């Protein structure tokens, strides 16, 4: 008998699987309608929450001065309602402060250099002596920020710091003035004085610096930037349910029994399952991105912006799909009934999602929850997407996440292949 | 003697965790072109045997050649030449009849015109041409059975295995399946047919093996199997119970082949039932033995099974 070969068999498997999915209304609702609803609702509903939460900033202050400048800044920051100030006792230098920020404990760090008060007083004195040369630098109080902070929030803290320093400057000035005798001020004199003052400002202008030192624009995600990748990943992983259910039904109804009596390699059967779901995953992400781009802004939300590396987005999507399919095939091989596979598949994905910052964004989680979240593959995927969307990351930035997802998928796939055999037993 | 297309020697299988062997060192031979019946009560081991013959289940022990290939070393060669119609209706409910056929046809290695031709033939065969584009979930039990059968033959196998294909269908569909199987057999397809309906096997098959509790208790050509019983069996009960003297007298009667005493029954094998019955009645009158009951059954597999095992085939 002429044998058309395994490509025909693969084609037949893909066609069959596609028909099974397309005719399964529940599966379509789970895979497309549910995540779509989630993205729309969450993007719009969480919009304000995202703003509000980022209104409380944790600030670490490293006071190497121990004088009037440090006290002034600490006092001003402590009295501002939107900041939670902590004076670092054990930190010594800039690296310590950056470490604190990178660990996520603080959003901002303020470094007051050694001898700041002495230097500032000296500069004030020069102002009063009308020193015209205006040379030398003022005190540089540094503001370091989490690269994930939105620019407007960094600016807010920066201007608070500038105000606090202006307050210190005034105090130093008045203290100095108090020791001087009266002086006549004419308009010309005033202009001259202003020039002198400007040339001898005690403090340098405050600028927010990025904790990683390579700051471009790196704000926190907008709610649509969080929701689209989060619920896309959730939906992609939800293929575990239809994938395992169709497979288990095939086993129960005897389709697989027939296949076992035919000259069919098990790799063809597995690939015939994987490929249609891979395509579904790509459709899901395309749909969700489209919703973020076009529908959310129509309904009054922010439009989605996805950074500037579509290739990185593609790599992440493929890796996440691979992980989801591997997980689905493994679930199918180990569950005997469709009830088992829906319960196990559904529960594990929801737990992964909850841990991974899909349901509650990670930056809202306490530190210990954030560290637990690394066990969730969905969390790797989401971190990757946020790297690209929010922090302007490229391919090299998402490689660790992509490799993690691919490895997870590969391990699942190997376990599934080991369990699945069309050979007689 | 024709070529053997299936040869099994000492085939053995115990399911994991089971106490008893499901198939207990059986020998089977099936001739090329024959219509072979595998008969036995529920749990006899028919499905297990079939599973080993079709490569679904690996025998724990024994030799097995199917279509001339050793199933252990050349499974794919075997698979190319066999078709199985499983005991359970194995179809995709949400696919149409045509789509089910196309899928399994392609998985068998068919494509293009050959595939389309076979799909058409098989739909015709199952009398489902009109319903080709209807989803299987809307079909009746009989229609599903017919389609299931058609899928088993889409690649025109050399050997077709059927596991109780007539369970749960109406008489018309059953007759229809019989006619088709006979026609296929006449065209050269070897058929291995399992059933626990002995009339089916008796009318369809030319050779048969009877299984019970994992063993083959009788096998051979249908005519030979039936003639082991002669033309039938006469059973009589008497008062007093039959004695050895009576048995010897009965055995020497014209028309009687043999007589045995089973409990209070005297069983007489016969080729000429009328003569034997007349003789028995005369003899009993002469000996003054009272006749309590007499019955006669034509030779059939049921009778054979009964005489071999002392139990009825049906539960
Ligand atoms: N998967 C299994 N695991 C354990 N025991 C099994 C399994 N399948 C069958 N058996 C046992 O093996 C024996 C033979 O079963 P088998 O299905 O081969 O019988 P059968 O003749 O086909 O019966 P039926 O007419 O009911 O289909 C029975 O005792 C059965 O309980
Ligand atoms: Mg059976």
B94 and B177 both lie in a single domain: yes
Q: Which two tokens stand for residue B303?
A: 């009778």
For residue A368, the model assigns a pLDDT of 83
Distance, CA of B162 to CA of B194 (rounded, Å): 6
For residues B171 and B254, membership in a common domain is answered with no
Domain-embedded: residue A246: yes
Print the domain residue range for B262.
231-296
- Asked if residue A78 and residue A138 are part of one domain, the reply reads yes
Calculate how far, in angstroms, residue A255's C-alpha sits from the geometric centre of ligand 1.
19
Q: Taking the model in full, what pTM does it have?
A: 0.74
User: What mean pLDDT is predicted for residues A105-124?
Assistant: 85
Residue A380 has pLDDT above 90, yes or no: yes
Nearest CA in chain B to A13: B103
Q: Is the pLDDT at B43 greater than 70, yes or no?
A: yes
Strand, helix or coil at B193? strand
Are A251 and A371 in a shared domain? Answer: yes
**Tens-digit pLDDT profile for residues A183-219:** 655 667 666 666 666 666 677 777 767 666 443 334 5
| Distance of alpha carbon B110 from alpha carbon A82, whole angstroms | 72
The verdict on B259 and B174 lying in the same domain is: no
Distance B164 CA to ligand 2 centre (A): 7
Range of A190-204, A385-399, B67-81 with top mean pLDDT: B67-81
Residue A181 sits in the same domain as residue A257: no
Q: What is the pLDDT of residue B182?
A: 94
Q: How many domains does one find in chain A? A: 2
| Lowest-pLDDT choice from A50-54, A373-377, B78-82, B256-260 | A50-54
Indicate which residue's Cα is closest to atom 14 of ligand 1. B45
Mean pLDDT value across residues A244-269: 92
> Does residue A420 carry a pLDDT above 80?
yes
As a whole number of angstroms, the distance between CA B148 and CA B47 comes to 17
Q: Compute the average pLDDT of residues B252-280.
A: 83
Structural element, H or E, at residue A285: helix A266-290
**Is B90 close to A19, i.e. CB distance below 8 A?**
no
The answer to the question of residue A385 being in a domain is yes
Residue with tokens 């690296």: A95
Q: What is the CATH number of the domain that holds A69?
A: 3.40.190
Mean per-residue pLDDT, A283-310: 89
Q: Give residue B63's pLDDT.
A: 94
Q: Do residues A31 and A83 both lie within one domain?
A: no
Which one-letter DSSP state was computed for residue A272?
Answer: H
ipTM attached to this prediction:
0.81
Those residues with Cβ within 8 angstroms of residue A369's Cβ, 6 or more apart along the chain or in another chain: A355
Q: Is the pLDDT of residue A394 over 80?
A: yes
Q: Are residues A332 and A358 in the same domain?
A: yes
Domain-located, residue A214:
no
Lowest mean pLDDT among A144-148, B77-81, B134-138, B299-303: B299-303
* B153 and B195 co-located in one domain: yes
Structural domain for A60, as ranges: 52-199
CA gyration radius, chain B = 23
- Mark whether A60 and A180 lie in a shared domain: yes
Ligand 1 pocket, residue B108 CB under 6 Å:
no
pLDDT higher for A229 or A69? Answer: A229
The count of domains in chain B is 2
Per the prediction, chain B carries an average pLDDT of 89
Q: pLDDT averaged over chain A? A: 84
Same domain as B255, residue B213: no
User: What percentage of residues in chain A have a pLDDT greater than 90?
Assistant: 41
d(CA B31, CA B2): 6
Q: Which residues of A touch B (CB under 8 A)?
A: 1-5, 8-9, 11-13, 15-16, 19-20, 23-24, 250, 253-255, 257-264, 423-425
**pLDDT band with cut points at 50, 70 and 90 for residue B269:** confident
The whole-number pLDDT of residue A210 equals 67
**Whether residues A67 and A141 fall in one domain:** yes
B312 located within any domain: no
The phi-psi region of residue A3 (left if phi > 0; otherwise alpha if psi is between -120 and 50; otherwise beta) is beta
Given B99, B106, B156, which is nearest A8 (Cβ)? B106
Looking at the fold, whether B132 and B281 belong to one and the same domain comes out as no
Q: For B147-182, write each residue's pLDDT tens digit.
A: 999 999 999 999 999 999 888 788 888 888 899 999
Percent share of chain A, pLDDT over 70: 85
Angle, CA of B267, B270 and B271, to the nearest 5°: 170
Flag whether A289 is in a domain: yes
Give chain A positions within 8 Å (CB) of B111. Answer: 4, 8
Q: Check residue A52 and give its pLDDT.
A: 47
B184 and B237 fall within a common domain: no
Plot region of B112 (φ>0 → left; ψ -120 to 50 → alpha; else → beta): left
Are residues A237 and A383 both part of a single domain?
yes
């Amino acid at each position: 008998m002429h044998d058309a070969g395994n490509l025909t068999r693969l084609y037949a498997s893909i066609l069959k699987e596609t028909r099974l999915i397309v005719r399964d209304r529940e599966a379509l609702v789970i895979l497309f309608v549910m995540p779509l609803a989630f993205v729309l609702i969450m993007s719009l509903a969480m919009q304000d929450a995202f703003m509000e939460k980022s209104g409380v900033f944790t600030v670490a202050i490293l006071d190497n001065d121990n004088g009037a400048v440090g006290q002034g800044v600490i006092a001003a920051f402590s009295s501002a309602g939107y900041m939670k100030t902590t004076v670092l006792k054990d930190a010594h230098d800039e690296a310590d402060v950056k470490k604190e920020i990178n660990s996520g404990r603080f959003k901002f760090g303020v470094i007051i250099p050694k001898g700041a008060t002495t230097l500032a007083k000296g500069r004030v004195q020069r102002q009063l002596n009308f020193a015209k040369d205006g040379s030398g630098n003022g005190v540089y109080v540094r503001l370091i920020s989490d690269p994930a902070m939105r620019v407007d929030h960094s600016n807010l803290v920066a201007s608070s710091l500038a105000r606090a320093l202006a307050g210190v400057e005034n105090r130093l000035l008045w203290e100095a003035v108090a020791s001087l005798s009266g002086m006549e001020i004419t308009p010309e004199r005033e202009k001259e004085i202003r020039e002198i003052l400007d040339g001898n400002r005690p403090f340098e202008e405050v600028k927010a610096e990025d904790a990683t030192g390579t700051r471009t624009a790196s704000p926190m995600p907008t709610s649509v930037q969080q929701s689209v990748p989060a619920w896309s990943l959730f939906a992609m992983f939800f293929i575990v349910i239809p994938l395992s259910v169709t497979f288990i039904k095939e086993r129960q109804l005897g389709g697989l029994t027939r296949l076992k009596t035919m000259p069919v390699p098990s790799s063809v059967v597995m690939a015939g399952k994987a490929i249609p779901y891979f395509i579904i995953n790509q459709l899901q992400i395309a749909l969700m991105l489209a919703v973020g781009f076009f529908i959310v802004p129509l309904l009054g939300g922010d439009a989605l912006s996805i950074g500037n590396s579509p290739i990185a987005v593609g790599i992440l999507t493929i890796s996440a799909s691979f992980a989801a399919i591997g997980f689905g095939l493994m679930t199918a091989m180990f569950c005997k009934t469709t009830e088992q596979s829906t319960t196990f598949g559904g529960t594990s994905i929801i737990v992964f999602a909850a841990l991974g910052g899909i349901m509650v964004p990670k930056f809202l989680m306490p530190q210990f929850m954030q560290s637990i979240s690394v066990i969730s593959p969905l969390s790797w995927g989401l971190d990757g997407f946020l790297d690209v969307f929010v922090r302007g990351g490229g391919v090299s930035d998402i490689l660790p996440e992509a490799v993690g997802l691919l490895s997870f998928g590969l391990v699942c796939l190997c376990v599934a292949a080991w369990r699945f055999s069309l050979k007689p037993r | 003697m024709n070529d053997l297309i299936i040869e099994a020697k000492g085939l053995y299988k115990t399911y994991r965790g089971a106490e008893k062997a499901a198939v207990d060192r059986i020998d089977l031979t099936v001739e090329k072109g024959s219509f072979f019946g595998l008969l036995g009560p529920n749990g006899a081991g028919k499905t297990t045997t079939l599973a080993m013959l079709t490569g679904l289940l690996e025998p724990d022990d024994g030799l097995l050649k199917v279509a001339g290939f050793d199933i252990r070393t050349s499974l794919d060669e075997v698979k190319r030449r066999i078709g199985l119609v499983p005991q359970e209706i194995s179809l995709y409910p949400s696919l149409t009849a045509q789509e089910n056929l196309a899928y399994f046809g392609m998985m068998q290695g068919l494509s293009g015109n050959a595939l389309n031709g076979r799909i058409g033939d098989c739909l015709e065969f199952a009398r489902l041409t009109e319903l080709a584009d209807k989803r299987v979930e809307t079909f009746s039990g009989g229609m599903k059975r017919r389609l299931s059968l058609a899928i088993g033959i889409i690649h025109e196998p050399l050997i077709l295995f059927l596991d109780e294909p007539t369970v749960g269908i109406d008489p018309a569909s059953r007759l229809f399946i019989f006619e088709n199987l006979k026609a296929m057999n006449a065209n050269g397809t070897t058929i291995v047919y399992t059933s626990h309906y002995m009339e089916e096997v008796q009318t369809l098959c030319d050779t048969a093996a009877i299984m019970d509790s994992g063993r083959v208790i009788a096998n051979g050509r249908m005519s030979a199997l039936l003639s082991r019983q002669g033309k039938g069996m006469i059973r009589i009960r008497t008062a007093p119970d039959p004695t050895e003297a009576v048995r010897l007298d009965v055995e020497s009667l014209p028309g009687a082949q043999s007589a045995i005493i089973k409990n209070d029954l005297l069983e007489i094998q016969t080729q000429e039932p009328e003569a034997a019955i007349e003789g028995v009645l005369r003899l009993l009158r002469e000996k003054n033995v009272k006749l309590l009951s007499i019955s006669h059954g034509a030779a059939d597999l049921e009778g054979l099974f009964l005489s071999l095992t002392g139990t009825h085939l049906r539960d």
